[in-house]
Homo-oligomer: A and B are copies of this chain.
Amino acid sequence: MPYDAPVADMAFTLQAVAGLQKLEGLPGFEAYDADLIEPILEEAGKLARDVLAPLNQSGDAHGAILNETGVTAAPGFAEAYAQFRDGGWMGLSAPEEWGGQGLPKALALAVMEMIHSANMAFGLCPLLSFGAIEALLHHGTDAQKQAYLPDLVSGNWTGTMNLTEPQAGSDVGALKSKAVPKGDGSFAISGQKIFITWGDHDMAENIIHLVLARLPDAPAGSRGVSLFIVPKFLLGPDGRPGARNSLKCIGLEKKMGIHASPTCVMEYDGATGWLIGEANKGLACMFTMMNSARLNVGLEGVAVGEAAYQTAFRYAQDRKQGKAEGVDGPAPILHHADVRRTLTTMRARVAAARAICYATGVAADLAVSAADEQARHAAKLREDVLTPIAKAWSTDMGVDIASLGVQIHGGMGFMNETLAGQLYRDARIAPIYEGTNGIQAIDLVGRKLSGTNGESMRLILGDIDATIREARATNDPQLVQIADRLRAGADALREASDWMLSAMKERDQDKALSGATAYLALAGDVIGGHFLTRAATAARHGDDMDARARHLALAGFFAETMLAMAPGRVPGITGAGSAFLDSSEALFGV
């Protein structure tokens, strides 16, 4: 199936909505030039369209295979990976010091969105490498950086995250893998890890595993977890991959989607590894990877949503059923109002989720590079509070949008031959991995809202107020109406945030957490509506009348459907928990 990257929309979202231009001239972004954005996106779009999209359905049908020598990627994937690597896409946002191009993370996000849209199973491989690069950049020693970063940044090698064990999923601290010092500075790592994405494959000359394990004297629980770097091939004196390490993939999961992405059971049998960061502080290091990965997984929701939209839109243009005014003979179903509404729903949600993810990326860039400490602090707060929303809201939307895409296809959407069904299956993993969306909601309410005493959400609400003022200042009656809906939505978000803060303070945690997922959904709706309003306001400065009409229509539709429901979501946050928590015995027997 064809995929065409929506380059103009992406560039507009990066600049006019997410604020990418704030990075210009900041230290670390000397290479950044706004004129480069569209050419870079165009080039990445070609890779996505011409190389990766053609392998999406065949990869689903074939899958990755485990044989005696390890995992073989689906046909064509190794060649596609070589093109990805040779294009330098892995290092787009990595520091120039390590062979990267030093461009903003937010720009790399847009590129990754294209890759995921074209082929989510493929995109998971670089997604994990990004995480490994982040962890090494932040926590590696100079020697570790020199040994591993250049080849990870070039894409010669890929990276993995090894957290989960059968008894340790959301509760990472329950893991049992062991790391025993060998006396030479290295450790012998033993244990079994499950759900390891791209844990083995034949596309790169080495795979750098980052593995959570326990030292012999480690305290119980999450405070006794350390992070180790465990390469598939140990590096020789020349720094090149040499002897095979004692680790292997012993099984591939059979799963609902992302068939071309090998989900490995990994066995570490006294494998040689080296500590990254401090002993027993592995979880903090892992969170560095996780935060990068969480935003990228949120982006998968956007990406699958965009692919589902394009697929459904094309089908609605081609498929003829029934009559429509002004069309001779059977009309393309695009002419039916209900189909247009479904497509508009898909498109508006994709646009909102994209803006949330890109804005999170810009905040992450500013958190490191903004000119002064206060700006960096504010950006960090924005990044922190937006990350769980970007992850959970976007991936829930991804599933909903993919489901709407199936619906547009009618019976054909249920058949294996159409991409629509694959997208519905592929999309379903994103709300689960890198911290389930339930965990994201608890993170939002706990560490991000309550942990900053509401400061982070107040910043976001302040941003929304500014957007409302700008929209009203246009005096465009449609924008003013949208701004009124956004006002009501922001008031609802403020009310729910205040309630959450006080419920958490009074230590009535079960009540608070029973509404966490609904609170995150409300926050996503309102913040998404805020960005669409900003887009519609900003588009007025352009002279593309179609783009103006489009952004206004999407913001207006989102306001009438999603924002209009925001006030009605508050009782489901503040009140609904009582109903079932007080009747838990009758409902659940506990």
Which positions in A face B, CB cutoff 8 Å? Answer: 164, 167, 169-171, 174, 194-195, 253-257, 313, 320-322, 330, 332, 334-344, 347, 399, 403, 406-407, 410-411, 413-417, 421, 424-425, 428-429, 431-433, 436-438, 441-442, 485, 509-511, 513-518, 545-550, 552-554, 556-557, 560-561, 564-572, 575-588, 590
Given A410-B436, A553-B582, the answer on whether A171 and B330 have CB atoms closer than 8 Å is yes
| A550 in complex: contacting residue of B334, B340, B411, B583, CB < 8 Å | B583
CB distance from A429 to the nearest CB of B (A): 5
Closest A-B pairs by Cβ, 7 of them? A553-B583, A549-B586, A556-B579, A565-B568, A568-B568, A561-B572, A560-B576
The docked-state distance in angstroms from the alpha carbon of A410 to that of B167 is 12
| A342 in complex: contacting residue of B255, B411, B438, B568, CB < 8 Å | B438
Interchain Cβ contacts under 8 Å between A and B, 8 examples: A338-B442, A340-B514, A340-B581, A341-B518, A407-B432, A424-B428, A546-B585, A549-B587
The docked-state distance in angstroms from the alpha carbon of A572 to that of B48 is 35
Complex contact A587–B431 (CB within 8 A): no
The docked-state distance in angstroms from the alpha carbon of A516 to that of B341 is 10
The docked-state distance in angstroms from the alpha carbon of A554 to that of B576 is 10
Complex contact A254–B415 (CB within 8 A): yes
Given A334-B590, A344-B580, A421-B256, the answer on whether A410 and B322 have CB atoms closer than 8 Å is no
Complex contact A254–B195 (CB within 8 A): no
Complex contact B195–A411 (CB within 8 A): yes
Complex contact A438–B550 (CB within 8 A): no
Given A169-B321, A566-B568, the answer on whether A580 and B438 have CB atoms closer than 8 Å is no
CB distance from A185 to the nearest CB of B (A): 34
The docked-state distance in angstroms from the alpha carbon of A255 to that of B550 is 36
Q: Which residues of B contact A332 (CB under 8 A)?
A: 590
Q: Which residues of B contact A254 (CB under 8 A)?
A: 415-417
CB distance from A579 to the nearest CB of B (A): 4
The docked-state distance in angstroms from the alpha carbon of A407 to that of B169 is 13
Q: Which residues of B contact A579 (CB under 8 A)?
A: 344, 552-554, 556-557, 560
Given A568-B567, A579-B556, A583-B550, the answer on whether A588 and B340 have CB atoms closer than 8 Å is yes
Complex contact A415–B253 (CB within 8 A): yes
Complex contact B580–A571 (CB within 8 A): no
The docked-state distance in angstroms from the alpha carbon of A449 to that of B431 is 38
CB distance from A346 to the nearest CB of B (A): 11
Q: Which residues of B contact A335 (CB under 8 A)?
A: 590
The docked-state distance in angstroms from the alpha carbon of A163 to that of B194 is 47
The docked-state distance in angstroms from the alpha carbon of A289 to that of B568 is 39
CB distance from A491 to the nearest CB of B (A): 13
Complex contact A550–B587 (CB within 8 A): yes
Complex contact A169–B411 (CB within 8 A): yes
Complex contact B406–A428 (CB within 8 A): yes
